[in-house]
Amino acid sequence: MRIITYNVNGIRSAVKKGFIDWLKTDPADIICLQEIKANKEDVPVAEIKTAGYNVYSFSAQKKGYSGVAILTKIAPDNVVYGSNIEQSDFEGRVIRADFGDVTIINAYFPSGTTGEERQTYKYQWLDEFYEFINELKKTRPNLVICGDYNICHLDIDIHNPKGNKNSSGFLPEERKWMDKWFETGHVDTFRHFNKEPHQYSWWSAFAGARANNKGWRIDYISVTESMKNKLKHGEIRQQIVHSDHCPVFLELI
């Protein structure tokens, strides 16, 4: 099973930049998209199907905001829209698909960059999501949690750790949440394979950040410890440029 997580920063915008042609290269069996910024009826399902993928999407109530989708060549046994947490579901942040005994969670974690109110909500969401996952593990222990986590975990995951120590996405409280996440039964699949610095998945649109690789690693595929022996390969595909993010790839045996 080949899996990608990818914040496309607007599915319709990505399509204009060659997203469908990329899909036709068969980049993965299952692709988890975040920030699709489209209502269900505006997701270009027919175009995506020409590349061999079925589409399951969960949009925010607010038009042109947030939203997640799973594109898959493998028929899921079950799809669950939302996490049954009111505000998170209002913002279209979580979708789940079950494939045999493996469950894929696609999540778009909130950003706190717009101010204190959203940062406060981000902390609330993180706590709620942690409990949601722990509850789900009781019945579905083999989890793959894809998404834009909107947090850099370690100094190695950001181009300027000292300069960003007070930036949302690299705050001590957020990083502690990531510590807890990876210390309580989750594996950072990219770091399982690659310990090198300068491996980023998002770049600011300003000052040539992408060209100079001054980025942040905020997109992750985590798996539960029960899946660790299934890990075959993981990488960040920085050369793919439909978005200010790039795809993160995982292959399971």
Tokens describing residue 25: 């290269």
- Give 35-49 as a DSSP string: -----GGGS-HHHHH
Domain containing 141 — which CATH number? 3.60.10.10
pLDDT at 190: 98
Contacts of residue 176, Cβ cutoff 8 Å, sequence gap at least 6: none
Write down how long the chain is: 253
Is the Cβ–Cβ distance between 3 and 250 less than 8 Å?
A: yes
Positive/negative CA dihedral, 104, 147, 156, 121: negative
Choose, from 29, 148, 157, 219, the residue flagged as catalytic.
148
pLDDT at 34: 99
Phi, psi of 27 (to 5 degrees): -70, -20
Q: How confident is the model at residue 134 (pLDDT cuts 50, 70, 90)?
A: very high
Which residue is associated with the tokens 């950001």?
Answer: 158
- The pTM (predicted TM-score) of the whole model is 0.98
- What residue spans of 85-171 are helical by DSSP H? 86-90, 116-137
Q: Please state the rounded mean pLDDT for residues 76-97.
A: 98
pLDDT at 219: 99
Summarised one tens digit per residue, pLDDT across range 191-211 is 999 999 999 999 999 989 999
Question: What is the extent of the structural domain holding 92?
Answer: 2-252
Summarised one tens digit per residue, pLDDT across range 22-66 is 999 999 999 999 999 999 999 999 999 999 999 999 999 999 999
Q: How confident is the model at residue 231 (pLDDT cuts 50, 70, 90)?
A: very high
Calpha distance 72→74 (Å, rounded) = 5
Q: Does residue 148 have an active-site annotation? A: yes
* Total count of domains within the chain: 1
Q: Which helix (H) or strand (E) holds 183?
A: helix 172-183
Summarised one tens digit per residue, pLDDT across range 233-244 is 999 999 999 999
Cα→Cα distances 43→46, 96, 241, Å:
9, 18, 20
pLDDT at 29: 98
Calpha distance 152→162 (Å, rounded) = 13
Q: Please state the rounded mean pLDDT for residues 109-113.
A: 96
Q: Please state the rounded mean pLDDT for residues 119-142.
A: 98
pLDDT at 212: 97
Q: Please state the rounded mean pLDDT for residues 7-19.
A: 98
Name the burial class of residue 251, with classes exposed (0-12), middle (13-18) and buried (19+) by CB atoms within 10 angstroms of its CB.
middle
Single-letter code of the amino acid located at 49? K
pLDDT at 116: 96
- Give 184-252 as a DSSP string: TTEEEHHHHH---SS--SEE-SSTTTTTTT-EE--EEEEEEGGGGGGEEEEEE-TT--SSSB--EEEEE
Q: How confident is the model at residue 9 (pLDDT cuts 50, 70, 90)?
A: very high
Calpha distance 91→61 (Å, rounded) = 6
